[in-house]
A and B are shown apart, each in its own frame.
Chain A
Amino acid sequence: MTNLTQAQVRERIEKRLASRHRKEKLFRGLGIASIAFGVLAVVILFSDIISKGSGAFMQTAIQLEIHYDAQVLDIDKVDDESLAWANFSGVIRQALRERFPSVTSRGEKRELYTLVSSGAPFTLRDRLADDPELLGKSEKVWFAADDDVDTFVKSLKDSKEGFRGRTSEQKAGWIEQLLDSGELKKRFNTTFFTNGDSREPEQAGIRAALMGSLFTLLVTLALSFPIGVAAAIYLEEYAPKNRWTDLIEVNINNLAAVPSIVFGLLGLAIFINFFELPRSAPLVGGLVLTLMTLPTIIISSRAALKAVPPSIREAAMGMGASRMQVVFHHVLPLAMPGMLTGAIIGMAQALGETAPLLMIGMVAFIVDVPAGVTDPATVLPVQIFLWADSPERAFVERTSAAIMVLLSVLIVMNASAVLLRKKLERRW
């Protein structure tokens, strides 16, 4: 410099070095902190849900000595008709009274009856239907406990007192008595996987929601994959570069970022109001999710087609193949792994989607397992939403368990997409 010697410059640089290096460390620290925050969020989210939900895979059961007394049941033979109106709860109540003979007052008795699930009579009905010989005989039967009992028993392992909630001192005493004598235990909760929704937490399961999700995804896959691939083929292999193609491209990119709830509005206005398709049906859900996942599938399919080197097209064309033959015989098979990966990711997205399905009525309380795409159904994420809204403490557990199931399915889907990509990926 005209007025600064190199030595002067050196000196000035030296003076600021320490503070510059401090800033460098701080900046780096901020970066690490950000990553740590993200990782921590993942850890907290998962551990929170697992700690809340793992209990739901076990269920408290109570064993009772049941006497199939024809008089109490008020039937004389076992057939479909008599099974339908036999007084099974009377038998259960009798068994409870016999187990706790000291209970005499009406109020206490009523409380006693709430030890077992209100679904217990159905357990008995099924047993008797399976084996009509049981009529007039006795046997020991395990029943699902009521959700309050379940919550209380499960909370005992965290603290000696346990979470009482609606459970009275006396009831807690009964429960401890049963626990001590081995007539109360925790068993694997099969109900959770075999039942549909229910107002009673101990009878609620995810089967109906899982089937609903399956049907919805089948419709989505059946529509969005062929349409998406066809659209990608046209845009990548045929489309002339003009304003119309540009418009389609801009449109696809924009649609990929439109909020999902807007697709729900579309589904409500067009599919349900205009075409009068059934509400709450996987068919409509699948249609809405098709429109939603289409951009994802088109974009990834185009990327897969783009990755196929032009030399392959040129080679096939050189052999005299028509454009269509080039695409369908040569390019498409090579691009298929990439397209499938995109489809799996799109399906994973669709599986986790809730908001648009609320719009088309998949939020209704549906107990039955759907048998087809036009039956009323709900899907797993919506089931989670519904349960999360329920006041019963036992539903928190089941919501978290349903989330665990949903996340496991998503992890499997995404992992298979990654594996597929790794396994079938070609380097040109």
Chain B
Amino acid sequence: MSTMTLDAAGRTEAAQSELTGGQIAASAEVRKTVGKPFCDTAKLRMRNVNVFYGEAQAIHSVSLDIGRNQVVAMIGPSGCGKSTFLRCLNRMNDTIEGCRVEGELSLDGDPIYGPKVDVVPLRARVGMVFQKPNPFPKSIYENVAYGPKIHGIASRRADLDEIVESSLRRAGLWNEVKDRLDKPGTGLSGGQQQRLCIARAIAVSPEVILMDEPCSALDPIATARIEELIDELRENYTIAIVTHSMQQAARVSQRTAYFHLGRLVEVNDTETVFTNPEHELTEAYITGRFG
């Protein structure tokens, strides 16, 4: 693992040279993250995270904090490692054969990786919503009740009913589905399915919710509903969201992290990133010169 001094105000050498669109990806070398990758109220702390798929390194020494009750957006061109990074946070990368994660990652000071860490309660604390809505082929009720049931959070039917209702309410879906809870979840529209998946995730009272491009398969109206929802959820949860849409990042997040070729280039308050990016790769990306 390469050691790297993290200098909040540091700049890469590459940032000094003049670059044009086509050359950027090939020649830019990102050594240090610019901006403000750390914060005081960190819920999730990541230090020097490297991820390998077999021999190939997908993430190069990324360090980042995700603050409590904050929405952090991760943006970058496709293949830049933002989804891979997100999946480290609840160890979903474990399911991929040959994937190896190095570095220090902790949730409220508890390590995420390590021989003694049990992924089951970890994933209950760090929930996840995926790119494509993936409701189970069960009824709407069973979809939401799945988590509480397997974890034994509620044993009585009445408790379960209450959890299902409150989760669906928080996901803004209750009014649409309350009369057809026993209908299959796969029969809902795409946007409703994604909100069902959010309800399913919050039914186990997670502390963090990871969202991997949650709106990429949805139409603009459904997207708007989800974005509203994310904003409401921020009150109770810490949220990390990967998105390919810069507008979305600008709308929903407080902080934005820009990834490029497996490296974290710049992290800053969302407004700063979009109005006054420090790194020219970031600037090039948000101004649409590549991506």
Contacts and interface: CB of A to CB of B under 8 A. Distances in A.
- Does chain A touch chain B in the assembled complex, meaning CB atoms less than 8 Å apart? yes
Interface of A: 1-4, 6, 9-10, 12-17, 20-21
B153 interface: yes
Interface stretch (B21-29, B66-74, B120-128, B247-255): B120-128
Given A13-B151, A16-B152, A6 B207 contact: yes
10 contacts: A3-B162, A4-B153, A6-B205, A9-B124, A12-B152, A12-B153, A13-B204, A16-B151, A17-B118, A20-B120
Contacts of B162: 1-3
A17 B162 CA distance: 23
A25 to B, nearest CB: 13
B163 interface: yes
A10 B152 contact: no
A13 B121 CA distance: 7
A4 B166 CA distance: 12
B120 A17 contact: yes
A9 B152 contact: no
A17 B120 CA distance: 8
B205 A9 contact: yes
Interface in B110-140: 118, 120-121, 124-125
Nearest to B169: A2
Nearest to A5: B205
Nearest to B151: A13
Interface in B151-206: 151-153, 162-163, 166, 204-205
B121 A17 contact: yes
A286 B56 CA distance: 56
Nearest to B236: A6
Given A4-B205, A6-B207, 10 more contacts: A1-B162, A6-B205, A9-B204, A10-B121, A12-B151, A12-B153, A13-B124, A13-B152, A15-B152, A20-B150
Contacts of A2: 162, 166
Interface of B: 118, 120-121, 124-125, 150-153, 162-163, 166, 204-205, 207
Contacts of B150: 20
Nearest to A7: B205
Contact of B153 (A9, A17, A20): A9
A239 B14 CA distance: 62
A107 to B, nearest CB: 76
Contacts of A13: 120-121, 124, 151-153, 204
A1 B205 contact: yes
A240 B199 CA distance: 48
Contacts of B151: 9, 12-13, 16
Contacts of B207: 6
Contacts of A14: 121
Contact of A1 (B118, B120, B163): B163
* Residue of B118, B152, B204 with most chain A CB atoms under a 10 A cut-off: B152
B166 A1 contact: yes
Nearest to B165: A2
Nearest to A2: B166
Contacts of A6: 205, 207
Contacts of A21: 118, 120
Contacts of B125: 10
Nearest to A14: B121
Contacts of B166: 1-2
Nearest to B205: A9
A21 B152 CA distance: 14
Contacts of A20: 120, 150
